[in-house]
Amino acid sequence: MANIILKAGREKSLLRRHPWIFSGGIQHVDQDIASGETVDLLSFNKQFLARASYSPASQIRARVWTFEDQPVDKEFFRKRIRSAIVSRSMFQVSGSSNACRLIYAESDGIPGLIVDRYGDVLVLQSLTAGSEYWKEALADLLLEETGCATVYERSDADVRELEGLPSHTGFLRGSLSTFHFPIVENGLKFDVNFQSGHKTGFYLDQRVNRLRVRELAYGKDVLDCFCYTGGFSVNALAGDAKSALSVDSSADALALCKENVASNDLPADRHAILEGDVFQLLRKFRDERRSFDMIILDPPKFAPTAAHADKATRAYKDINLLAFKLLRPGGTLVTFSCSGGIDAGLFQKIIAGSALDAGVDAQIVEYLSQAPDHPVSLHFPEGAYLKGLVCIRG
């Protein structure tokens, strides 16, 4: 087994069970270690600390598989996959949907591996050198443990570049005649395109929050910004919203949004779509003195890391300030951030500043987060990326 020896004092994060070691914390690396190969992490005095995957191209040079002195082999990963499947069954996700997050990387003890299940299709993302090294074995194990026949790979996230890995998509196991897959979520139908859709095709992390919007939308004029394929819009209409306007920059996403409204037999005369830049359209609505009872802001990731936080802060403040101006008195703002570089405290601060600059009073009435099939390890807070607030304008 190849070894990595840490600098004195750099073992503290591992002793707290955080699974990452950065390049700056390393004193020595054995020669000729392949990308993704399993290595032992040793303290400066050569005491065993953990067993990890090695990533020579990344600033995160090692990601821990286990803190125990145990083999990292196919059976090791089988146990991790089984454990993840059991944990999802505890939350009875299958009772509300035939789609769920089956494996969530570090939170399930398999750094770099994301697996979403859509019925009998598994969509896999391999995001690190370690998950790439074991990808073929993991694909076989996933089929064995789930009984599914198809694994489609969507390893096309930008983060792979930081690992020195090329983008890759396509069937790892099995095949299908179409890339469109119908799912059911809390009684509503959605068409998912796992070949070209965002992430693995659908934002499964928002399942619980979409249902909450349905519960809050009764009788309201709703503006759904960055609507993608209409998850929130469909739920608002299913909750008997007076109207729903779905806004996105993607014509393809809006077309699918319209189809999702129709497939659920929701009133087309209460729904409209609008293609364009959300920032520009919110300013246009402000200038036209338009107003809404509920506004949903679910933007893309503005700050992947803390290094982007300043720029992201300005973007979040801009759209939330405009939203507060467009809200009618007593109106509801449901606003989210999925940026890892913006923590919950900073996000709340941004929203408070937005209300202040908009000249309105507002109260936070609910805190929202990711669905329970996206668990967060107590030792890996970075897994809690989705922050949401429900605010009422005074």
Cα–Cα nearest to 63, from 140, 128, 16: 128
Q: Which residues of 297-332 are buried (b: 16+ CB within 10 A; e: fewer)?
A: bbbebbbbeeebbeebbebbbbbbbbbbbbbeeebb
CA distance 129 to 33: 12
Cα–Cα nearest to 23, from 64, 61, 57, 50: 61
**Cα end-to-end distance, the chain, whole Å:** 63
Catalytic member of 100, 148, 225, 338: 338
Question: Which residue is it, tokens 């005491």?
Answer: 47
CA distance 195 to 188: 22
Distance of CA 339 to the CA centre of its chain: 9
Rounded to 5°, the CA angle 266-270-273 comes to 95
What SS3 state is found at 347? helix
What SS3 state is found at 176? coil
CA distance 277 to 168: 29
Distance of CA 298 to the CA centre of its chain: 12
Tell me whether residue 338 is one of the annotated catalytic residues. Answer: yes
Which residues on neighbouring strands pair with residue 150, listed in sequence order? Answer: 121
CA distance 241 to 125: 36
Residues labelled catalytic: 338
